[in-house]
Amino acid sequence: MSNPNLVEGIYFTMYPNEILEAINQSNMTKTQIKICNHIIRQTFGWHKSWAIISHEDFAYACAPKEYPCGTPYASQKQRRPL
């Protein structure tokens, strides 16, 4: 197998195994895992210890596709239609 660093179009983020194991052993929802992964990509992926991430960036990267941003999902879930 060739070196992935030399293949154009293939990118990856290296981050500590402890974080990966903690995420795998947690009982987070799919959306919460997407949020964690997005933060990891925006920090470790760019070799930074912190990053400023806009709400729009989170929405684009992490919002569940069945509940687009702007939909009051939480209030719909609490109402429980008859």
Instruction: For residue 45, give the nearest of 11, 4, 18 by alpha carbon.
Output: 11
Categorize the per-residue pLDDT at 46 as very low, low, confident or very high, splitting at 50, 70 and 90: confident
Task: Quick: pLDDT tens for 11-28.
Answer: 778 888 999 899 999 999
Domain residue spans in the chain? 17-79
Cα 7–chain centre separation: 25
Sequence-ordered list of residues with C-beta below 8 angstroms from that of 45, at least 6 positions apart, any chain = 13
